[in-house]
Amino acid sequence: MLADVYRVLLAQRGHQGWWPGETAFEMAVGAVLTQNTSWTNVERAIANLKAAGVLEARVLLGLPIDDLAALLRPAGYFNVKARRLQALAAFLVDRADGDPTRLPAGDPTRLRQDLLAVPGVGRETADSILLYAVGVPTFVIDAYTRRLFGRLGLLDPEADYDELRATFEAALPRDPGLLNDFHAQIVAHAKDTCRPRPLCPECPFANWCPTAPREGGS
C-alpha cells in the first residue's frame, strides 16, 4: 500500500530530482537549517553562506560563531543553528575530510548512531543527511510524511519515528534513488495540495483521503 502511494505520486508529478543543493555538504547544511523552518527561509540563509564563501566544512568551522549566526538569521533559531552547524562541520571534517560523500557508509546503522551523537542532529536530520548527502537507503519521516499518511489512514501520525521509518523501509526497495524520490514526492504533494487548510483541492488521493473533497460532495 505504501508503494502504491509512491506510484500515484510519481504518475502525477514525474521524478522530482531532489533535494535542492549543489553539493553534499550543502544538503547536510540544509538538513539542519530546515529544522522547524520553511524551506524559503532556509534558501535565504544558504544564499548568505554562499555569498560569504563559507559553504565548506573547514571554512564554516573556522568562522566566529556570531558571524555565522548573523548569516543564518533568515532561517530562524540562528544562534542554535550556528552551534549545530559547527558541530556537524566538525564531525564531517573529522570523519570525512568535510565531505559527506566520504563518510564510511559500510555500516549504515553505526554511521546513523554516530550522526545522532552530534549535537543538534536528531533522527530526521540524521536520516536526511544519510539519504540525500551520503546516499544511504533510509527513509525520512517528517511532518509532511506524518500528515499525508495519517490523512490517508495508512499510518498513525503520532507513532514513534523509528517505528514509522521501519514500516516504510520494510515496504519499499532498498534503493536510495527511489526512497529519495518518494520523500521528495511527499514534500511536493504536501506543499501543492495537502496543506492543513484548505484541504486537497486537486488531491490524487481523493478516493483515499478522509479529508479530501469527494466527487459530488459538499
Contacting residues toward DNA, per CB under 7 A: 18-20, 30-31, 34-41, 44, 73-81, 119-126, 128, 132, 140, 142-144, 187, 190-191, 195-196
The position carrying cell 490523512 is 151
Q: Which of 3, 182, 27, 18 is nearest to 103 (CA)?
A: 27
- Minimum CB separation from DNA for residue 138, in Å? 12
- Minimum CB separation from DNA for residue 155, in Å? 16
Burial class (CB in 10 A: 0-12, 13-18, 19+), 162: exposed
CA distance 146 to 142: 6
Q: Which residues contact 93 (CB under 8 A, 6 or more apart)?
A: 57, 58, 61
| Cβ-based nearer residue to DNA, 143 or 166 | 143
| Cβ-based nearer residue to DNA, 45 or 55 | 45
Do residues 24 and 134 touch, judged by C-beta distance below 8 A? yes
- Minimum CB separation from DNA for residue 69, in Å? 7
In this structure, what C-alpha cell is assigned to residue 87?
558541530
CA distance 139 to 97: 26
- Minimum CB separation from DNA for residue 147, in Å? 7
CA distance 44 to 126: 22
| Cβ-based nearer residue to DNA, 151 or 218 | 151
| Cβ-based nearer residue to DNA, 97 or 175 | 175
| Cβ-based nearer residue to DNA, 177 or 214 | 177
- Minimum CB separation from DNA for residue 186, in Å? 9
